[in-house]
């Protein structure tokens, strides 16, 4: 990692061009076995069409015992939600839950509250570092401000296509649940201390996925930077 950081420092001697304001990151924690999640999924799908928001769907697995195994859920998604639960001093994880920029949260059906939190997030100062994908094997994060605890850099790969799943058992038996921007992979690339740093990317696996970089405070902290591949 130190060697990659030295390479990045050489490459970023000159300031990179300013990025356009990053979209607000809206994370939806949901499950196909959750009776109230289908409606929240559909509403977040409409929100995903807005250019000022980036909706990411994280299916969790802790409702699988109700009779239907969520085909997209992964334990690491539930772990991500648990980090928010601890950070925001919530009693327990629940679905559907919306987390906005790692700063605030609301129930997935509390649409007016979500809209208000989005408006607040969009008024926040924009001081994110420059983020660039360099080919398929490296990403660079530039200089920026970071808290004393530092930050983590995450690679997120998600499917931008709408996916409809026919649920055959459990509380949603007989229903077709819509999904938008379903996350398929999350990889912690390393730490970021506010200095230009390069990160090695894992090999791409499933075809058709979109990739982005999140720079985020440690253990479920605020998202301070977003970089989309190809933007």
In a domain, residue 15? The reply is no
- What's the pLDDT tens digit per position in 25-61? 999 999 999 999 999 999 999 999 999 999 999 999 9
In a domain, 31, yes or no: yes
The pLDDT value recorded for residue 10 is 44
- pLDDT of 16 strictly over 80: no
The mean pLDDT value for 57-69 works out to 96
Please report whether residue 173 resides in a domain: yes
Q: What is the pLDDT of residues 191-205, one digit of tens each?
A: 999 999 999 999 988
Tokens linked to 147? 């808290």
Indicate the number of domains in the chain. 1
- Report the pLDDT value the prediction gives residue 231, as an integer from 0 to 100: 66
| Domain enclosing residue 99, as ranges | 2-8+22-228
Q: Is residue 59 part of a domain?
A: yes
Q: pLDDT value at position 14?
A: 34
Q: Is the pLDDT of residue 173 over 80?
A: yes
Answer yes or no: is 27 within a domain. yes
Examine residue 13 and state whether it is found in any structural domain, yes or no: no
pLDDT in the model for residue 22: 84
Tens of pLDDT, residue by residue over 75-118, are 999 999 999 999 999 999 999 999 999 999 999 999 999 999 99
Query: Do the domain assignments include residue 16?
Result: no
Q: Is residue 17 part of a domain?
A: no
Predicted local confidence at residue 36, as pLDDT: 94
What per-residue confidence (pLDDT) applies to 213?
A: 98
């Amino acid at each position: 990692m130190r060697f990659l950081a030295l390479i990045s420092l050489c490459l970023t001697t000159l300031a990179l061009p300013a990025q356009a304001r990053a979209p607000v990151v809206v994370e939806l924690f949901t499950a196909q076995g959750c009776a109230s999640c289908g409606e929240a999924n559909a509403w977040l799908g409409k929100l995903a069409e807005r250019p000022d928001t980036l909706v990411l769907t994280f299916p969790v697995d802790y409702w699988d015992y109700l009779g239907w195994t969520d085909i997209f859920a992964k334990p690491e998604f539930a772990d991500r939600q648990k980090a928010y639960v601890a950070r925001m001093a919530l009693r327990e994880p629940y679905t559907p839950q919306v987390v906005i920029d790692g700063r605030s949260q609301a129930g997935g059906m509390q649409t007016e509250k979500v809209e208000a939190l989005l408006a607040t997030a969009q008024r926040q100062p924009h001081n994110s570092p420059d983020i660039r994908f360099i080919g398929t094997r490296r990403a660079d994060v530039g200089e920026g401000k970071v808290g004393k605890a530092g930050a983590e850099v995450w690679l997120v790969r998600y499917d931008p296509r709408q996916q409809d799943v026919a649920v055959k058992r459990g509380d949603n038996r007989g229903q077709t649940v819509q999904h938008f921007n379903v996350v398929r992979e999350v990889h912690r690339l390393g730490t970021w201390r506010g200095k230009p740093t390069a990160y090695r990317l894992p090999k791409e696996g499933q075809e058709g996925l979109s990739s982005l970089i999140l720079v985020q405070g440690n253990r479920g902290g605020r998202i301070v930077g977003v970089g989309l591949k190809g933007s």
